Amino acid sequence: MDKILRIDVGAQGGPKADVTPIGDYAGFAGRGLTSAIVAKEVPPLCHPLGEDNKLIIAPGLLSGSAAAMSGRISVGCKSPLTGGIKEANSGGQASQVLARLGYAAIVLEGKPSDDTIYKVCINKDGVKVEADNSLKMLGNYDTVEKLIQEFGDKIATISIGQAGEMKLAAASVAFSDMELRPTRHAGRGGVGAVMGAKQIKAIVLDDSGMSRREPADPEKFKAANKEFVAGLKKHPVSGEGMPAYGTNVLTNVINEAGGYPTNNFSIGQFEGASKISGEAQAELENARGGEGSATHGCHKGCVIRCSGTFYDKDGNYVTKQPEYETVWAHGGNCGIDDLDAIAALDRLDDDFGLDTIEMGATIGVAMEAGLAEFGDAQAAIKLVKEVGEGTALGRVLGSGAAVTGKVFSVERVPVVKGQSMPAYDPRAVQGIGVTYATTTMGADHTAGYAVATNILGVGGSVDPQKPEGQIELSRNLQIATTAIDCTGMCLFIAFPILDQPETFQALVDLISGFTGQEMTADGVTELGKAVLTCERDFNARAGMTPKDDRLPEYFKKEALAPHNITFNVKDEELDTVFNW
């Protein structure tokens, strides 16, 4: 991956593609590359939907190789949701394919002069950018179907739905899975709105005739990969729980811990949790049958296989197996205990191109505002359809929970830096509260998954209900996670590498064997710190201050049942997270 594809969508005569050497960005990949380009090339005070913002799509360091679990892709920009730097990442096939095509990144820049929308085709022969208004305002599913008809079924796709075209701040970028379904999404921060502002509807990737990326030291790489895979398979979370029940295995666990945000973060346990748990979901999917029903990989090289496929009672495909965050967002957070309704909402979100976390949190706020009753699944479906239809109410909801809360005068709005909190209440899981408050990305569980240690006992144990130890825990996890985001590795490798020193060493050796340059544990730490420093510098120049690294006040004042506790990590302690 020694080149960058830049597409100037505002060039005279229409978008112009230019392939340039990677140059000063050599050695960067994934989140490290997206953040480096944003920090260097995007004016921090620019409008996120204007010509000066850029959308960067970058495969990971190990993507396109034989390394297991290396198929994550990063999407970066200045976020229309947070106003700061953003990296959202996704599974699917695109990362592996783009890396095999030799591109370290695609950079979309400029702004078109009219309302034409475009598709981009990238293969071994080069790049074509073509106007295609026949795709205008199609959902992701219809868009991908049209692309398959034109380009065949040996492709990978990147696309936006109606929400992205309308430049709504909750819009996602969709990536196709191994079945060419647009089910994997870079969801957070409104990255789909920026792609919509560039008027690029879809990118088609075809790596036919291209070879797999080969390691610099094949023997070291092969041995490390074998050891790494063995570690993933023997860990109880990545080797047993997640393959059997998917990410939704967490529902019963978090509900039992009293940290499952219910009815817009008003209580910490949901009476209907067992009806929408991973166990219930797997039982339903297996009973209904269908290929890939209860276990499935989202990209080639996936070992954990925590995804799945959801079919209705008549055996018709509905959507991917809804992930834990989605089941919570449209389920417990809205008081809904119907897996079929949650799957229908997931399908709508994927088709319209919406972040399921942001939309579930937004519907929860709307329910608190009185637009619907908690537990009313059909009302929730109707509200999401309003977003896809672009009604006035739909545009409000599609702008996210923070905007919806302001419009309808709701006090309890669970956001940080304008981005909605995911499926763990920070009062019952105080370590994740530190991450929500301080991450560069707005409230984001994946930025430093303290749940692993607070609740699951992975990587040690820190009492989830006490403030002691949470700063150091979140700090270390944010550093490690940032480094992982640069490699293209799935975040779920964190469970075995936190618990198994030999598996962490195998990952380090895997990187060394691939690049031919010796990587160490200290090197991993330094990489994470360097990227975080870069991101925090951008946010500071964009106008963010320590006051933005805070949870909403009600988390400090409203006690959460059943433990009746508040968030107790002090503000002055939050300000020390990045002191290293």
Q: Provide the token pair at 58.
A: 């970058």
200 and 261 housed in the same domain = no
Q: Are 470 and 431 in contact (CB under 8 A)?
A: yes
Q: Where does a domain end: 406, 424, 442?
A: 424
pLDDT of 239: 86
Kindly compute the dihedral angle of the four CA atoms of residues 29, 30, 32, 36, in this order, to the nearest 10 degrees.
90
Q: Where does a domain end: 205, 238, 266?
A: 205
Q: Are 435 and 574 in contact (CB under 8 A)?
A: no
User: Is 212 within the bounds of a domain?
Assistant: no
Question: Could you give the residue ranges of the DSSP H alpha helices within 439-557?
Answer: 451-454, 470-487, 494-499, 501-515, 521-541, 554-557
368 and 262 housed in the same domain = yes
pLDDT of 292: 58
pLDDT of 240: 84
Q: Provide the token pair at 121.
A: 């085709």
Q: Are 502 and 227 in contact (CB under 8 A)?
A: yes
Tell me which residue has tokens 């789909």.
Answer: 192
User: Is 504 within the bounds of a domain?
Assistant: no
pLDDT of 293: 64
User: Given its phi and psi angles, is residue 200 left (phi above 0), alpha (psi -120 to 50 degrees) or beta?
Assistant: beta
Q: Provide the token pair at 362.
A: 């937004």
The residue type at 241:
G
193 and 266 housed in the same domain = no
Provide the CA 440 distance to its chain's centre, in angstroms: 14
* Exposure of 564 in the CB half-sphere (CA atoms within 13 A): 0
Sheet strands (E) in 145-190:
156-159, 173-175, 184-186
DSSP single-letter state for residue 443: S
Q: Where does a domain end: 424, 444, 467?
A: 424
Whole-angstrom Cα distance, residue 15 to residue 118? 9
35 and 133 housed in the same domain = yes
**Nearest CA-CA partner of 92 in 189, 196, 178:** 178
User: Is 255 within the bounds of a domain?
Assistant: yes
User: Is 240 within the bounds of a domain?
Assistant: no
User: Is 573 within the bounds of a domain?
Assistant: no
Say how many domains are in the chain.
2
User: Is 577 within the bounds of a domain?
Assistant: no
Q: Provide the token pair at 551.
A: 């949870």
Q: Which domain holds residue 169?
A: 3-205
Whole-angstrom Cα distance, residue 284 to residue 35? 41
183 and 273 housed in the same domain = no
Q: Provide the token pair at 318.
A: 């509905």
CATH of the domain at 162: 3.60.9.10
User: Is 268 within the bounds of a domain?
Assistant: yes
pLDDT of 199: 98
User: Is 95 within the bounds of a domain?
Assistant: yes
Q: What is the pLDDT along the chain (580 residues), one digit of tens a residue?
A: 789 999 999 999 999 999 999 999 999 999 999 999 999 999 999 999 999 999 999 999 999 999 999 999 999 999 999 999 999 999 999 999 999 999 999 999 999 999 999 999 999 999 999 999 999 999 999 999 999 999 999 999 999 999 999 999 999 999 999 899 999 999 999 999 999 999 999 999 999 999 999 999 999 999 999 999 999 999 988 888 888 888 889 999 999 999 999 999 999 999 999 999 999 998 898 888 766 565 667 777 788 777 889 999 999 999 999 999 999 999 999 999 999 999 999 999 999 999 999 999 999 999 999 999 999 999 999 999 999 999 999 999 999 999 999 999 999 999 999 999 999 999 999 999 999 999 999 999 999 999 999 999 999 999 999 999 999 999 999 999 999 999 999 888 889 999 999 999 999 999 999 999 999 999 999 999 999 999 999 999 999 999 999 999 999 999 999 999 999 999 999 999 999 9
75 and 136 housed in the same domain = yes
| C-alpha dihedral sign at 559, 419, 535, 177 | positive
Whole-angstrom Cα distance, residue 573 to residue 462? 17
169 and 74 housed in the same domain = yes
Whole-angstrom Cα distance, residue 193 to residue 199? 10
292 and 368 housed in the same domain = yes
pLDDT of 295: 67
Task: Kindly tell me the burial class for residue 512, based on how many C-beta atoms sit within 10 Å of its own C-beta (0-12, 13-18, 19 or more).
Answer: buried
Predicted TM-score (pTM) of the model is 0.96
278 and 171 housed in the same domain = no
CATH of the domain at 280: 1.10.569.10
How many C-beta atoms surround the C-beta of residue 27 within 10 A? Answer: 15
Digit-coded pLDDT (tens) for 484-508: 999 999 888 889 999 999 999 999 9
324 and 191 housed in the same domain = no
Q: Provide the token pair at 95.
A: 């990362």
55 and 139 housed in the same domain = yes
DSSP single-letter state for residue 441: T
190 and 270 housed in the same domain = no
pLDDT of 37: 98
